[in-house]
Chains A and B, each alone.
Chain A
Amino acid sequence: MATSEQTEKLSIQQMIEEQRGKKAKKRIEKSIPIILFLIASISVLTTFGIVFTLIFETIEFFQRVPFLDFIFGKEWLPFSNKEPLFGILPLIAGTLKVTAIAVVVAVPFGLASAVYLSEYASDNTRRIIKPILEVLAGVPTIVYGFFALTFVTPLLQQFIPDLKIFNALSPGIVVGIMILPMIASLSEDAMTSVPNSIRDGALALGATKLEVAVKVVLPAALSGIMASIVLAVSRAIGETMIVSLAGGSTPRFDLDMTDSIQTMTAYIVQVSTGDAGFGTTIYYSIYAVGFTLFLFTLLMNWLAHAISKRFREEY
């Protein structure tokens, strides 16, 4: 028996040897990394291309508008006939208002859903709810925008009579609803990946389910949760359709949530869909605003990275 095993082993080794000898296979093996590298370079080059365009056009903009006027200016009046003003603070204020409201809506509800799904829901419930969340995340933003303008704003006006038809509150809430599934789903992933042995350890000490969720699972999943929030925030910052439709186009530098605003993204839409001529200051201004937006999302990405490094839990 031992010898037959021996020969069988040998012959398999021989077959493998024969396979290895084939030239075509070798050539494919060698060319694969090169092909993959080329494909990867395309996306990297595209990114560089976009960033460089953004930078060049922004530089052009700053030859017409002083840099300090741009970053410290409290008035954004690009269409003024007498003296156009390009102070970006009102646009940033618009973006931050919407983002802040969205976070206030999305974080508590998103985390509560995540805790429910990962710690309380039965497998069946989870199997039903998770895909619904994903569908919710896939609704086109134009639909959300419509929803904000034609449903949420009138509804809110029932309670806040002063609320203007265009305002920060309604798109803020709807952006919050839009990013909620993202926070819920990603946080749920982070929480389900906390090993059960750790939950058992806490339960065996007489902890209740809630104590396990809040004092063991949440902290253990913190880095994933924070990353999900930061990602959601950067989506809120970049959100365009909802704020264009329901936020209005009146840049203002204040804390008023009930009046018309304009966000950075909404301004870019306004100019791009309007008839500002190529080469005008207004034309270049959208690049400067776009670049500012880019810096914001870059900051959020960096933050997400730093957070997940800082809080990396080891289990």
Chain B
Amino acid sequence: MVQVNLNKPQLKETTDSNQNVNMNNIVYDTKQLNLWYGNHHALKNIDLAIKENEVTAIIGPSGCGKSTYIKTLNRMVELVPSVKTSGQIIYRDRNIFDSDYNVEELRTRVGMVFQKPNPFPKSIFDNIAYGPRIHGIKNKKTLDEIVEKSLRGAAIWDEVKDRLHENAYGLSGGQQQRICIARALAIEPDVILMDEPTSALDPISTLKVEELVQELKENYSIIIVTHNMQQAARISDKTAFFLNGEVIEFDQTDTIFSTPSDKRTEDYISGRFG
């Protein structure tokens, strides 16, 4: 319906043709990742291969390193000055820790939705158009199309189409979170990282975001941190269980929730600790 010339289709083609090189369409291949906050060893020897067009859930008790891990995937974690890392994260055939790797480019391809909705104190329109604008898209008509497409994509177009020029802070928390998702969609990323995107939302908004995640996986690879076991079971294809900075188990979500192979996973999902 809306014709926007962005890089998504081309991107798909290249990855498809690279299928042999990039086995099983792995988007993110984490190899022996370690991360320290100062002396605190927060991530320990993480090995995790995340597939394209899937929803990967990350679960685990508070403080086990879930947020740290997904913030490492777009290198936002480096905003903490004391952070040190070792190991590799291969994103589409390149190690993101390479010294000449362009972080801005990485973050342009890998969107992020935060735990607390954090729209800019600007109009709804300007919130969505922010990403495209900083990447040089100025044409008014193109921006209009992007904004509509992204808001539709985030299932919030109908609620806000008549108030696009009002401040985004006038919206409810659930609406704000979907605005933030739309903002991430506006630059048509390859991967979307979500850190407990529904933890500040009511059940109905949560449901909407969950449905959205299901739809989005057609076109995007999604990595979602959640404290909500049912949510992980409902929406994800794969689940990784983190404990004290380690990946204890990573498997199909069905397997994790029906026949986990590790006792600690079983204890956690059955609510015996965490």
B273 within 8 A of A: no
Question: Are A314 and B107 neighbours in the complex by a CB distance under 8 Å?
Answer: no
Q: CA A234 – CA B180 in complex, angstroms?
A: 41
Question: Are B130 and A215 neighbours in the complex by a CB distance under 8 Å?
Answer: yes
Q: CA A197 – CA B135 in complex, angstroms?
A: 21
Question: Are A215 and B134 neighbours in the complex by a CB distance under 8 Å?
Answer: yes
B183 within 8 A of A: yes
Question: Are B108 and A205 neighbours in the complex by a CB distance under 8 Å?
Answer: yes
Q: CA A211 – CA B104 in complex, angstroms?
A: 11
A298 within 8 A of B: no
B46 within 8 A of A: no
Question: Are B120 and A207 neighbours in the complex by a CB distance under 8 Å?
Answer: no
B106, closest chain A residue (CB): A206
* Contact (A313, B107) CB under 8 Å given A197-B114, A205-B131, A206-B187: no
B119 within 8 A of A: yes
Nearest chain B CB to A211 CB, angstrom units: 5
Question: Are A198 and B105 neighbours in the complex by a CB distance under 8 Å?
Answer: no
> Restricting to B95-123, which residues have a CB under 8 Å from any CB of A?
104-108, 111-112, 114, 116, 118-122
The 10 A-B residue pairs with the shortest CB-CB distance in the complex, in nearest-first order: A206-B108, A204-B112, A197-B118, A206-B107, A205-B131, A314-B169, A313-B121, A201-B118, A315-B121, A206-B104
* Contact (A200, B118) CB under 8 Å given A205-B131, A208-B104, A215-B134: yes
Instruction: Give the residues in chain A near B112, CB-CB below 8 Å.
Output: 204
B198 within 8 A of A: no
**Known interface pairs A202-B134, A219-B121; 16 further A-B residue pairs with C-beta atoms within 8 A, sorted by A's residue number:** A195-B118, A197-B114, A197-B118, A198-B121, A200-B118, A204-B74, A204-B107, A204-B112, A204-B114, A205-B184, A205-B187, A206-B106, A207-B104, A207-B130, A215-B130, A220-B121
Per-position binary interface string of chain A over residues 209-251, scored 1 when its CB falls under 8 Å from any chain B CB and 0 otherwise = 0010001100110000000000000000000000000000000
Per-position binary interface string of chain A over residues 276-315, scored 1 when its CB falls under 8 Å from any chain B CB and 0 otherwise = 0000000000000000000000000000000000000111
Question: Are B76 and A202 neighbours in the complex by a CB distance under 8 Å?
Answer: no
* Contact (A201, B134) CB under 8 Å given A220-B120, A315-B169: no
Query: Which range contains the number of A residues in contact with the other chain?
Result: 20 to 34
Instruction: Give the residues in chain B near A202, CB-CB below 8 Å.
Output: 120, 130, 134
Question: Are B114 and A200 neighbours in the complex by a CB distance under 8 Å?
Answer: yes
Question: Are B134 and A206 neighbours in the complex by a CB distance under 8 Å?
Answer: yes
Instruction: Give the residues in chain A near B121, CB-CB below 8 Å.
Output: 198, 219-220, 313-315
Instruction: Give the residues in chain A near B120, CB-CB below 8 Å.
Output: 198, 201-202, 216, 220
How many A-B residue contacts, CB cutoff 8 Å?
Answer: 68
Question: Are B76 and A203 neighbours in the complex by a CB distance under 8 Å?
Answer: yes
Nearest chain A CB to B243 CB, angstrom units: 26
B204 within 8 A of A: no
Instruction: Give the residues in chain B near A211, CB-CB below 8 Å.
Output: 134
Nearest chain B CB to A304 CB, angstrom units: 20
Q: CA A216 – CA B119 in complex, angstroms?
A: 11
Instruction: Give the residues in chain A near B104, CB-CB below 8 Å.
Output: 206-208
Instruction: Give the residues in chain A near B2, CB-CB below 8 Å.
Output: none
Q: CA A278 – CA B167 in complex, angstroms?
A: 59
> Restricting to A36-58, which residues have a CB under 8 Å from any CB of B?
none
B79 within 8 A of A: yes
A212, closest chain B residue (CB): B134
| 26 A–B contacts, CB within 8 A, in A order | A195-B118, A197-B118, A198-B121, A200-B76, A200-B114, A201-B114, A201-B118, A201-B120, A201-B180, A202-B120, A202-B130, A203-B76, A204-B74, A204-B76, A204-B107, A204-B112, A205-B134, A205-B187, A206-B107, A207-B104, A207-B130, A208-B104, A211-B134, A216-B120, A314-B169, A315-B121
> Restricting to B54-106, which residues have a CB under 8 Å from any CB of A?
74, 76, 79, 104-106
Nearest chain A CB to B20 CB, angstrom units: 30
Nearest chain B CB to A312 CB, angstrom units: 10
Instruction: Give the residues in chain B near A216, CB-CB below 8 Å.
Output: 120, 130
Nearest chain B CB to A194 CB, angstrom units: 8
Question: Are A198 and B134 neighbours in the complex by a CB distance under 8 Å?
Answer: no
Q: CA A111 – CA B72 in complex, angstroms?
A: 33
Q: CA A198 – CA B117 in complex, angstroms?
A: 9
A312, closest chain B residue (CB): B121
Nearest chain A CB to B1 CB, angstrom units: 24
Nearest chain B CB to A95 CB, angstrom units: 36
A208, closest chain B residue (CB): B104
> Restricting to B242-257, which residues have a CB under 8 Å from any CB of A?
none
